[in-house]
Structure 1
Amino acid sequence: MLDIYTIIFLALAVFIFVRLRSVLGQRTGRERPPYDPYSRDTARPPQPAPEGKVVPLPERNGPPPVAAGPVEVQAPAFRWEGVAAEGSATAAALDEIARIEPDFDAKHFLTGARAAYEMIVTAFAAGDRRQLKDLLAKDVFDGFVSAIADRESRKETMESRFVSIESADLQDVTVRGTNAQLTVRFVSKLISVTRGPDGAVVDGSPDTVADVTDVWTFARDLGTRDPNWKLVATEAAQ
């Protein structure tokens, strides 16, 4: 026999069931399954696209990427490019210098040779024996000093001023043992004038720019601590 409390609980359960049914609705068999973005929809067969509106899509598993062709390996640059012709005797002599002194740089040498050329010409004109001694081999220094002394004995003065050094090209290289000699052809524009005791011009012109070509040879012993190249021969080219 049901007591009053049991009847009240049953009535309350029926009431709650009816309210939930009205809020959540009923299953009709047409509900869509929960969406899973990582699964393929196999419940429904693919529907054909309308005629004339087929849009091709890229295949997920397309053809493998085309392998790149063989990488072209470039040959190392010619070390003496712009200084000596490849395969020439000059290039071979430069290689011999580099074998003894791996840090040798021919372009750096030519830059130094240009500076030395200008310093020697101006020092000779000024009669600066001290500066010449550091740049010239002994026999060349003796010849320059003799010419300066002869000029001074006549009480003449000389002025030389560079307008420009047009070029400084390596003309010849020889290596004998550890002694290297590099010959450079200089082409420059120079104003040079020699005046007598009274100031009158005895040679050259203070207003004329002369084209001058000189062929000078510098030498040094390789593998030594002294890095300085010295002038060992001069020649005025035509």
Structure 2
Amino acid sequence: MSGGFPVDLILFAMVAAFLVLRLRSVLGRRTGFERPPRDAAAPPLDPRARRPAAEGDIPELPPAVASASTTRHVVPDPRTPVGQALVRIKGVDPSFEPHGFLDGAEGAFRMVVDAFARGDRETLRALLADETYGGFEGAITAREQAGETQRSEVRAMQEAGIEAADLRGTVADITVRFVSDQINLTTAADGSVSAGAEAVTELTDIWTFQRDLRSGDPTWRLVATRSA
């Protein structure tokens, strides 16, 4: 309508702003999934992190930080090979803290499960590596072509534990074991249930996250998934 007030554009802008804020509410927190800004109030780094470990030294990880999550966190002993890999990761990225990382990993897990069920490709693209995204996107497309609807709800997260870690140059991989209570239900085009059930089921998922620790992008992207 000529000369009319563009109300539709304002509504679209409000919806877009809401989605951005929702995404940042999970990924924008300093939970180990991003590097906090340096400032004058930041505590000095432990001098031991700046030198190679001497023979007989026991590698250390920072103490656990307070977490709002009620999920049980499992972090390997720093004397184990996985624990030593986490120490090396912290050596490259001093802001890394295992319990904070698990908080962020849990948030990403919930977002990915929800986004996959809703067919939210934009959110998945932001959280998944290219190859992993291709698999998720293909499954969403097949579901859409079949006229199916997916319902997935994470009712409770029982456990999030670091099972493996690796550092190759500045590229870190961390594998997390998630134990969650979920409802997963796929409905066919005619309304019948084609897979899953309304019942709450305990599921165990093994997800691997990857990040170049020297990259300006703070996101740990999902690079592999499997069920245990």
- The TM-score with structure 1 as length reference comes to 0.65
Q: Does 1:116 align with 2:108?
A: yes
With CA pairs under 8 Å and 6+ residues apart, which has the higher RCO, 1 or 2?
A: 2
Structure-1 residue corresponding to 2:126: 134
User: Number of residue pairs matched?
Assistant: 161
Letter in 2 for 1:94: L
Deviation of 1:144 (Å): 0.3
Gaps of 5+ in 1: 1-75
Percent identity at matched positions?
41
C-alpha change, 1:78 and 1:178, in structure 2 (3 Å) is: closer
Match of 2:61 among 74, 79, 90: 79
Higher strand share: 2
Structure-2 residue corresponding to 1:225: 216
Q: 1:107, 1:143 → 2: CA distance?
A: 29
Contact 1:184–1:216 (CA<8 Å) still a contact in 2?
yes
Deviation of 1:83 (Å): 1.4
Deviation of 1:205 (Å): 1.1
Q: 1:78, 1:199 → 2: CA distance?
A: 55
Deviation of 1:79 (Å): 2.1
Q: How does 1:1-238 map to 2 (within 5 A)?
A: 78-79=60-61, 83-206=75-198, 208-237=199-228
1:157-208 C-alpha deviation (Å, 9 max, x unpaired) = 00011110100000000111110000000000001100011111111112x0
CA radius of gyration, larger in: 1
Contact 1:80–1:91 (CA<8 Å) still a contact in 2?
no
- What is the aligned-residue RMSD (CA, Å)? 1.6
Letter in 1 for 2:217: D
Q: 2:172, 2:102 → 1: CA distance?
A: 14
Q: 1:162, 1:99 → 2: CA distance?
A: 34
Structure-1 residue corresponding to 2:17: none
SS at match of 1:205: strand
Q: 1:180, 1:77 → 2: CA distance?
A: 18
Moved over 3 A (4+): none
Deviation of 1:78 (Å): 4.5
